[in-house]
Chains A and B, each alone.
Chain A
Amino acid sequence: MIEAILRVNHLSVSFDTYAGTVRAVRDISFDLGPGETLALVGESGCGKSVTCRSVMGLLARNARVEAGEILFQGEDLLKKSNREMRAIRGGKIAMIFQDPMTSLDPTMKIGRQIAEAVTLHRKVSRGEAKRRVLELLQLVGIEEGEKRYHQYPHEFSGGQRQRIVIAIALAADPRILIADEPTTALDVTMQAQILDLMKDIQRKTGTSVIFITHDLGVVANVADRVAVMYAGRIVEIGTADEVFYDPRHPYTWGLLASMPTLATEDEKLYAIPGTPPTLIDPQPGDLFAPRNPYALEADKIAEPPLFPVSGTHFAATWLLDPRAPKIDPPEAIRRRARERGSL
């Protein structure tokens, strides 16, 4: 395998709150290859954003990294000083947030905002910085760069603002781009354009991308590999085809089955019962067990490890233990494999 550019090993992050210690991320490991897009999927509170904020060194003050390491080009980011992290953040690793309006300064012309990102990580002359800004505007598909350079964020539409945010993120030629729900606030047609743009940029620059989203349609569109998170853990990880057409974890089954495809007729939608657990003093055993119709006795006792399905595909469910009873996935899931490409 090609050397990973980012490797997260056994990361655990907790938050101290008045109500108790929230175990937001619990022993997760994954790696990211050069030029690859890894999607982190899951519901609110599953730990996907906390994972990425750990990589960026942007955790809140009440957060504690309990264990693990985050290796970027072989060096542990968790051991870096604030000063060292400032050089990496926005430089080698950049981030795009969900809401473009709150990530831009409303009182500053967008040309200057992008130029700021350019000059922060590189010593360049004013003229050169401006040339780079115009180049970035063109890269993200904003026309009439010379004129747009002097405009304020409110003069742009939501989709264009997200393009500007992407331009800022790309200013220093990052090796890794972390996109936290970058299209959630946008309409479908705008979303489609931004997704196309991100893939296009990736082809041109070879940047690796971690894409956080809860939308499985978006995942299918952008991801090479997918990590499904639940209650602070990665419960299934594999290539997009493995996770969408041959999912092994009952939670992944539930997520996929609960989305109607254009072919779903009048039958009742499969719904995962219940709600996600709180992560304060989590109960022993598998935290998905109370919502899992396929839960085994073993789930009440211990959390399942990630069992290998293939060299690239792993799932944390006791169903994969050789001693477990043989269980077929629900019909909606088997149909996915049969009708791949025409769902």
Chain B
Amino acid sequence: MSAEKNLIEVKDLTHDYTGGRGRPAVQRVSFAIREGETFGLVGESGCGKTTTGRMLVRLLEITSGSVRFDGQDIIGLRGKELLDFRRQAQIIFQDPYASLDPRKKVRDIIAEGIDIHHLAQNRGDREAQVSQLLSSVGLRPEHLTRYPHEFSGGQRQRIGIARALATQPRFVVCDEPISALDVSIQAQVVNLLKEEQRHRGLTYLFIAHDLSMVKYISDRIAVMYRGRIVETGPSDLVYGNPLHPYTRSLISAIPLPDPESERSRRRIPYDQPEAAEDAELQEIEPGHFVLL
């Protein structure tokens, strides 16, 4: 796997829910995701991170800008090409309760992508693929014939992961996949995601507001504020040497499981309006960009 090849290239991506009457939810966002890496997108609710993630898999219309997937612009895709793109780019949702069809059995939830994209030769093959997926996410064969309501939150998220992996994607958007889960289950799901990534050479966009977890799982990170990326770079640099005042404020707000450092914690408030229209990302040190 060539580490330097970009699988995703995003340029000036914009989404406007208001039809030009207000501030776009996502405004001229640009970044690239290398093949096989995990790119973390962090920020508060309403900053545009989920909107960005959904545009990348074409679940949401792109108002302007471009997204290239393996060199191909995804905006113009129609018909067969679009279908093929959807096979390669999947998404895992935040809420494992709302994102599974309650009337379908687990077998059919996982197999949906296999059926749509005709990835199984015959019934037996379909069954074999589903069973294999199920065991790779740590569920048991008897779970196949059960319904979503019979599972815990962590197990449901495993089903969501199996469903996303069923089409043998190259790219998966993980939209807050662990924030609805209990602490002891979060680590299980994160380990599973990392394992599958190593195993299948997957590329992830990992969206979250839990910064410790994002730092742990991501190779590079982008911090969003009011629809713009204000800082981006390798995780260690963004955390070790945060340059944008918003990034500093965000890092200063994460409570850490360490009473002594919590006692001496000083929060850095940040309450600026969005960045100026003509602000651009500037490279401060190799690979580390800040909106100025």
Residues of A within 8 A of B (CB): 43-44, 187-193, 195-196, 214-221, 223, 240-241, 244-245, 254-256, 258-262, 264, 268-273, 275-276, 336, 340-343
Contacts and interface: CB of A to CB of B under 8 A. Distances in A.
A272 B187 contact: yes
Contact of B254 (A43, A188, A241, A255): A188
Interface residues of B, number: 40
B257 A219 contact: yes
Contact of B256 (A191, A220, A254): A220
B24 to A, nearest CB: 20
B278 interface: no
B258 A268 contact: no
Interface of B: 44-45, 152-155, 182-188, 190-191, 194, 209, 211-213, 215-216, 239, 249-250, 252-262, 264-265, 267, 270
Given A187-B44, A189-B249, A261 B256 contact: yes
Contacts of A270: 187
A220 B190 CA distance: 23
A187 B261 contact: no
B19 to A, nearest CB: 23
B186 A220 contact: no
Given A269-B190, A271-B188, A275-B185, A343 B261 contact: yes
A259 B257 contact: yes
A221 B262 contact: yes
Contacts, number: 125
A72 to B, nearest CB: 28
A343 B188 CA distance: 22
Contacts of A215: 183, 255
Contacts of A219: 257
Contacts of A193: 267
B216 A260 contact: yes
Contacts of B249: 189
B253 A340 contact: no
Nearest to A342: B261
Given A188-B44, A275-B154, A342-B261, A262 B183 contact: no
B258 A192 contact: no
Interface pairs A-B: 10 shortest CB-CB: A217-B255, A260-B216, A258-B187, A341-B260, A271-B187, A192-B253, A343-B258, A43-B182, A216-B257, A187-B44
Nearest to A192: B253
B215 A191 contact: no
7 contacts: A43-B182, A188-B209, A192-B267, A256-B257, A258-B184, A261-B257, A275-B185
A179 to B, nearest CB: 15
B256 A343 contact: yes
Nearest to B47: A187
A187 to B, nearest CB: 4
A275 B260 CA distance: 31
Given A188-B209, A188-B211, A261-B212, A254 B260 contact: no
A214 B270 CA distance: 27
A264 B256 CA distance: 12
Given A260-B215, A262-B215, A241 B259 contact: yes
Given A268-B194, A272-B187, A217 B257 contact: yes
A262 B257 CA distance: 11
A44 B187 CA distance: 16
A91 to B, nearest CB: 31
Given A220-B255, A271-B188, 9 more contacts: A188-B250, A188-B254, A190-B44, A214-B182, A217-B254, A218-B255, A220-B258, A254-B184, A268-B191
B185 to A, nearest CB: 7
Contact of A220 (B45, B182, B252, B259): B259
A258 B190 CA distance: 10
Contacts of A216: 183, 257
B216 A264 contact: yes
Contacts of A276: 182, 184
Most chain B CB inside 10 Å of its own CB: which residue of A43, A219, A223, A260: A260
B255 A340 contact: no
A343 B257 CA distance: 8
Contacts of B252: 192
A241 to B, nearest CB: 6
Contacts of A258: 183-184, 186-187
B239 A214 contact: no
Nearest to A242: B259
Given A188-B211, A191-B253, A196-B267, A259 B183 contact: yes
B37 to A, nearest CB: 13
A297 B211 CA distance: 40
Contacts of B259: 220-221, 223, 240-241, 244-245, 340
B258 A341 contact: yes
Contacts of B45: 187
Nearest to B212: A260
Nearest to B154: A275
A302 B259 CA distance: 33
B97 to A, nearest CB: 12
Contacts of A214: 182-183
A189 B215 contact: no
A44 B182 contact: yes
Contacts of A188: 44, 209, 211, 250, 253-254
A192 to B, nearest CB: 4
